[in-house]
Structure 1
Amino acid sequence: MERKYPNLCKPITIGNVTFRNRMFGAPMGGTDITADCTIGPKSTAFYELRAKGGAASVTVSECVVHPETEGSHMYHLDLQTVGSLASFTYTADAIRRHGAIASVELSHSGQYAGTYLTDKNRKQGLAQWGASEGVRPDGLPVKELTQELIDDIVASYGTCAGLAKRAGFEMIMVHGGHGWLINQFLSPHFNKRTDKYGGPLENRVRFAQEVLDSVREAVGPGFPIEFRMSGSELFEGGYNLEDGVEIARAVESRVDLIHVSAGTYQTGFGITHPSMFLPHGCNVYLAAEIKKHVSVPVATIGGLNDPAEMEEIIASGKADVVEMARALLADPELPKKVMANRDEDIIKCLRCFTCMAERAMTATRRCTVNPLIGREMDGTEVTPSLSPRKVLVAGGGPGGLKAAMTAAKRGHEVILCEKSGQLGGILKGEQALPFKYEMYELGVTLGKLAKDAGVDIRLNTPVTREYVEKEAPDALIIAVGSEPVVPPIPGLEGNNVVVVNDYYLEKEKVGDSVVVLGGGLAGCEAAIHFAQEGKPVHLVEMRKELAPDANIRHRPIMLREIEKSGIQVHTGYKGLSVSAEGVVCADADGNEHMIPGSTVICALGQRPRKDLVEELMDCAPHVATIGDCVKASTITTAIYQGYHAALDI
């Protein structure tokens, strides 16, 4: 067949291993790391899903090579712990049996040991070892590694690599980026040593070279070694891209693939893992420059999820391989869909950081758009129903669409009614914010997939009790969503006021300056958008802090965006009245202030449409309520509940 993306779909041989395409699954931490730091069965299923979806390789992250100096609760691989080698063997087998190459990332966090502990207080009891003595930003002291410990750590990389090969892994990734130990030796910011490991770059790269030599000795010639590095640390005092090129040249004879990422622990989470406020592919230039100077293949990574963009990267020679992590959580079948010319069916990553926030909060995984993630052992196949039913879904938002397409896949006769003329529910409004456009696209894609699954979609069709009685379904899924909160503030009904949900319909009403009334997630993101357009923006919030409803990964990135955008923030301010000049607010002491702006954006939250729920609750033998009509919440909740509501019929 003729491939729509021939370069992306072309196999590549690295070392003595041939990979089926150029789409690699980047390292992602698992979902059930046991108390003994082995790979639990849920994590095995988690990695296997990526292999089933067509990725050329799937990398297990992170295997700590030297627990004596790195006490983080991550994977360990040794012969002393019962079940350790077996857990890696089962995982490698689960990946390989679907045609993907199993890889494992060997790592040491150095002075950042304990970063991934759910109980952050436990970091206090860990020994923090680094390239040089110092103090971490959080105040924990760091001890300088001795030559004896360096030799022991170097040897441990080889030991783990040899065991991984025995377990069935066919590639090793050595993590040399992101501020972890190898990067700490490479970085002039961290490395203040005066021995053979410090000073000029040829000394600072020595530890990485010794590690790679140890791994090579353990795995033998031809066995692929991938070196993950930051092309630039991207902060003052760190190394730059010119240094990154020299580092790559210094290790290329020892590796088979150079994986170029970006940033370090110092630069913040949203650089290494590009946030929605950054362009897709913003870090590709680092790999493109390094590729000009080395003879081995180069991989790139960072917020990539569009096949057309990835095809151009390979076709133009910027990189030989593209790696994805979050994109393959959102849609594990992305590579399979690309190979089959079905790219319009890809459910794209929203870069919302739900996946990483969940890992930090509960030590599990969850994905906003994929209810399977972290729950793969519950079953990843939608099985046909033995007793097909007639199902009516009220509401065409993300929850309703997910419920409808899932029910249709099970063989039910499904009708979905949407009261407006367009599917997507609350996601329709996101088309007006460029950095959230993929949320709008999610509604479009789910609508296509529902239609392809055979759902009878009826637009401009509100669901009433009479309508349900006429259709007489066996099951009714109520997904009627929420409505914006518009309190009785004088002037809030004026022509200079736009409800944030309706902004995409009323963009022409927004003037030269804006007051956003409501500093929750929606209000903050709207304020950022208007500031990016160059408008003066005031952001008013009654609570003491902004966006407590945002997840712990997205929130600090968003707050930094607000700060650098020049948005004037007023917390502890309550809106009293709206006029043509702006909003009169009262501060915590009751003093009144005029917050100026020609347009007021009302972003005061959502309330569930409980009146519609109550009307419809007894209209069918089986009734389920999902999403915002239960409690104003998130896309994650709506899709998860919609999926399982359909499975319950």
Structure 2
Amino acid sequence: MQRKYPNLCKPITIGNVTFRNRMFGSPMGGTDITADCTIGPKSTAFYELRAKGGAASVTVSEVVVHPETEASHMYHLDLGTVDSLASFTYTADAIRRHGAIASVELSHSGQYAGTYLTDKNKKQGLAQWGPSPGVRPDGREVKELSQELIDDIVAAYGRCAGLAKRAGYEMIMVHGGHGWLINQFFSPYFNRRTDKYGGSLENRVRFAQEVLDSVREAVGSGFPIEFRMSGSELFEGGYDLTEGIEIAKLIESRVDLLHVSAGTYQTGFGITHPSMFLPHGSNVYLAAEIKKHVSVPVATVGGLNDPAQMEEIIASGQADVVEMARALLADPELPKKVMSNRDEDIIKCLRCFTCMAERAETSTRRCTVNPLIGREMDGTEIYPSPNPRKVLVAGGGPGGLYAALTAAKRGHKVILCEKSDEIGGILRGEQAIPFKYEMYELGVTLGKLAKDAGVEIRLNTPVTKEYAEKENVDALIIAVGSAPLVPPIPGLNGDNVVIVNNYYLEKDKVSDSVVVLGGGLAGCEAAIHFAQEGKTVHLVEMRAELAPDANIRHRPIMLKEIEKNNIQVHLGFKGLCVTKEGVVCADSNGEEHLVPGTSVICALGQRARRNVVDELMDCAPYVSQIGDCVKASTITTAIYQGYHAALDI
């Protein structure tokens, strides 16, 4: 067959190992790290899903090589811990049996030890070690590593690498980026040593060279070693791309693949893992420049999810390999779909950070668009129902679409009714905001997949009690969503007011001076969009903080965007009335203020359509209610509930 993306699909040999394509699964932390820091069965299933989906390699992350000086709750690999070696072996088997190469990331966080502890208070009792002594921004003391400890850590990298090879891993990744210990040695900001590890760049690279020599001695020649580095630290005082190139040149003889990422702990989460506010592939330029100066293959990473863009990266010689993490959570079958020319079926990552927020909150994983993630052991296959039924889904938003798709895959006869002329529900409104466009695309893709699976979609068809009873279905899934909350504020129904959900239909009504009424997630993101367009924006919120409904990873990045775009924020302001000049608000003392703006965006939240739900509850033998019509919530909740409602029929 003729491959639509021939460069992306082309095998590559690294060391003595051949990888089936150029799409690698970059490191992702597991979901059930045991008390002894072994790989739990849920994590094995978590990694296996990406192997089944066609990735060329899957990297297990992170193995702490020296727990004595790095007490984060991450994986340990040793012979002394019962089940440690076995858990790694079972995971390597699970990856390899699907044709992917099992890799493992060896790591040490240095002065950021304890980062992955769920109980952050435990960090108080840890000793943080780094190249040089100092005090972290949070007040914790950093101790300088002695030569004896450096030697011990270097040897530990080799021991772990040898055990990983013994367990069946066919590639080792050494983590030298993102502000972790090896990066700390590279960085003039962190490394102020005066011995052989400090001062000149050659000295600052010495620790990495010793680590790589230790790993090479353990695994032997021809065994692929991948080195992950930040092409630039991207903050004042850190090393820049010019030095990043020199670092790459000084280590290339010791590695088989240079994995070029970006940034460091200092720069913030949204650069190393590009947020929705950055272009896709925003860090590719670092890999592309480093590739010009080295002879080993180079991999790039960061917010990549579009096959056309990834094909161009490889075809143009910017990199030899593309690596993905979040994109393979959203759609583990992305590589398989690329290989079989089914790229239109890819469910794209939204870069919403639900996956990483969930890990920080509950030590599990979850994905907004993929209900399997973190729950792979519950079953990843959809089996046909032994008793196919007639199913009616009321509502064509993300939850309803996912329910219809899942029910159709089970062999049921499925009708989906959508009261408007387009599927997608609340996601339709996102098409007008460029950095949220993939949310709109999600509705389009789910609609295509549902039709392909045999779902009959009826547009302009509201589901009433009479309609449902006339269809005489065996199962009814109610997914009628929510309606915008529009309180009886005088003037809020005026011509200068646009409901945030309807902005995509009324873009021309919005002037260059905007008041966004409501500082929740939707209001904040709308305000950022208007500011990016060059408009003057005021953001009004009745509560004492913005966007408490945003997840803990996305929220700080979004707040920085609000600050960067000079959005004027008014907290503790309650809207009293809307005029042609703006919104009259009362502050916390009851004093009135006019917040100026000739256009007003109403983003005051959503209210569940309970009246519709109540009408339909007795219209079929099996009735399930999902998503926003239960309680105004998230895409994550709607899709998860829709998937399981269909499985329960």
- TM category (shorter chain) comes to over 0.9
Kindly provide the CA deviation profile for residues 194-250 of structure 1, in whole angstroms up to 9, marking residues without a partner as x: 000000100000000000000000000000000000000000000000000000000
> Within 5 A, what are the aligned runs for 1:80-479?
80-479=80-479
Distance 1:136 1:323 in 2: 31
Q: Structure 1 residue 137: deviation in Å?
A: 1.2
Q: Specify the SS of the correspondent of 1:359.
A: helix
Q: Structure 1 residue 180: deviation in Å?
A: 0.2
- Whether 1:599 aligns to 2:590 is no
Distance 2:132 2:595 in 1: 51
Letter of the aligned partner of 1:205 in structure 2?
V
Kindly provide the CA deviation profile for residues 560-603 of structure 1, in whole angstroms up to 9, marking residues without a partner as x: 00001000000000000000000000000000000000100000
Distance 1:99 1:193 in 2: 45
Q: Specify the SS of the correspondent of 1:312.
A: helix
Kindly provide the CA deviation profile for residues 12-59 of structure 1, in whole angstroms up to 9, marking residues without a partner as x: 000000000000000000000000000000000000000000000000
Letter of the aligned partner of 2:237 in structure 1?
G
Letter of the aligned partner of 2:115 in structure 1?
T
Q: Specify the SS of the correspondent of 1:451.
A: helix
Distance 2:118 2:571 in 1: 30
Q: Specify the SS of the correspondent of 1:13.
A: strand
Q: How many residues align?
A: 649
Q: Specify the SS of the correspondent of 2:50.
A: helix
Distance 1:185 1:487 in 2: 57
Which residue number in structure 2 is paired with residue 61 of structure 1? 61
Q: Structure 1 residue 372: deviation in Å?
A: 0.1
Which residue number in structure 2 is paired with residue 492 of structure 1? 492
Q: Specify the SS of the correspondent of 1:594.
A: strand
Q: Structure 1 residue 378: deviation in Å?
A: 0.2
Q: Specify the SS of the correspondent of 2:360.
A: helix
Letter of the aligned partner of 1:2 in structure 2?
Q
Distance 1:98 1:629 in 2: 40
Distance 2:16 2:85 in 1: 24
Which residue number in structure 1 is paired with residue 545 of structure 2? 545
> Within 5 A, what are the aligned runs for 1:610-629?
610-629=610-629
Q: Structure 1 residue 258: deviation in Å?
A: 0.2
Letter of the aligned partner of 1:443 in structure 2?
G
- Whether 1:503 aligns to 2:492 is no
TM-score, with length taken from structure 1: 1.00
Q: Structure 1 residue 396: deviation in Å?
A: 0.1
Which residue number in structure 2 is paired with residue 50 of structure 1? 50
Distance 1:270 1:366 in 2: 19
Q: Specify the SS of the correspondent of 1:196.
A: coil
Q: Specify the SS of the correspondent of 1:516.
A: strand
Q: Specify the SS of the correspondent of 2:304.
A: coil
Q: Specify the SS of the correspondent of 1:228.
A: strand
TM-score, with length taken from structure 2: 1.00
Which residue number in structure 2 is paired with residue 18 of structure 1? 18
Runs of 4+ in 1 over 2 A off after TM superposition: none
Kindly provide the CA deviation profile for residues 38-81 of structure 1, in whole angstroms up to 9, marking residues without a partner as x: 00000000000000000000000000000000011000000000
Q: Structure 1 residue 346: deviation in Å?
A: 0.1
Which residue number in structure 2 is paired with residue 640 of structure 1? 640
Which residue number in structure 2 is paired with residue 74 of structure 1? 74
Kindly provide the CA deviation profile for residues 160-219 of structure 1, in whole angstroms up to 9, marking residues without a partner as x: 000000000000000000000000000000000000000010000000000000000000
Q: Specify the SS of the correspondent of 2:27.
A: strand
Letter of the aligned partner of 1:502 in structure 2?
N
Distance 2:324 2:511 in 1: 40
Structure 1 residue ranges without an equivalent (≥5):
none
Letter of the aligned partner of 1:464 in structure 2?
T
Distance 1:58 1:30 in 2: 12
Letter of the aligned partner of 1:86 in structure 2?
A
Letter of the aligned partner of 1:385 in structure 2?
S
Kindly provide the CA deviation profile for residues 115-158 of structure 1, in whole angstroms up to 9, marking residues without a partner as x: 11111000011111001000111110000000000000000000
Distance 2:512 2:376 in 1: 49
Q: Structure 1 residue 338: deviation in Å?
A: 0.1
Letter of the aligned partner of 2:244 in structure 1?
G
Distance 2:566 2:376 in 1: 43
Q: Specify the SS of the correspondent of 2:72.
A: coil
Distance 1:598 1:302 in 2: 39
Distance 1:117 1:435 in 2: 32
Q: Which deviates more from structure 2 when the two are superposed, residues 118-127 or residues 602-611?
A: 118-127
Letter of the aligned partner of 1:341 in structure 2?
N
Distance 2:361 2:11 in 1: 38
Q: Specify the SS of the correspondent of 2:222.
A: coil
Letter of the aligned partner of 1:579 in structure 2?
T
Distance 1:103 1:259 in 2: 13
Kindly provide the CA deviation profile for residues 76-128 of structure 1, in whole angstroms up to 9, marking residues without a partner as x: 00000000000000000000000000000000000000011111000011111
Q: Structure 1 residue 272: deviation in Å?
A: 0.0
Distance 1:469 1:103 in 2: 55
Letter of the aligned partner of 2:325 in structure 1?
A
Kindly provide the CA deviation profile for residues 494-520 of structure 1, in whole angstroms up to 9, marking residues without a partner as x: 000000000000001101100000000
Distance 2:138 2:645 in 1: 44
Q: Structure 1 residue 418: deviation in Å?
A: 0.1
Distance 2:439 2:119 in 1: 33
Distance 1:512 1:638 in 2: 35
- Using the aligned pairs only, state the percent identity: 87
Distance 1:312 1:511 in 2: 38
Distance 1:217 1:127 in 2: 30
Letter of the aligned partner of 2:491 in structure 1?
G
Distance 1:562 1:118 in 2: 29
Kindly provide the CA deviation profile for residues 590-638 of structure 1, in whole angstroms up to 9, marking residues without a partner as x: 0000000010000000000000000000010000000000000000000
Distance 1:134 1:476 in 2: 62
> Within 5 A, what are the aligned runs for 1:563-582?
563-582=563-582
Letter of the aligned partner of 2:439 in structure 1?
M
Q: Specify the SS of the correspondent of 2:534.
A: coil
Distance 1:559 1:341 in 2: 39
Structure 2 residue ranges without an equivalent (≥5):
none
Q: Structure 1 residue 550: deviation in Å?
A: 0.1
Q: Specify the SS of the correspondent of 2:594.
A: strand
Kindly provide the CA deviation profile for residues 402-454 of structure 1, in whole angstroms up to 9, marking residues without a partner as x: 00000000000000000000000000000000000000000000000000000
Please tell me the root mean square deviation across aligned C-alpha atoms, in Å. 0.3
Q: Structure 1 residue 487: deviation in Å?
A: 0.2
Q: Specify the SS of the correspondent of 1:515.
A: strand
Q: Specify the SS of the correspondent of 1:106.
A: strand
Kindly provide the CA deviation profile for residues 292-317 of structure 1, in whole angstroms up to 9, marking residues without a partner as x: 00000000000000000000000000
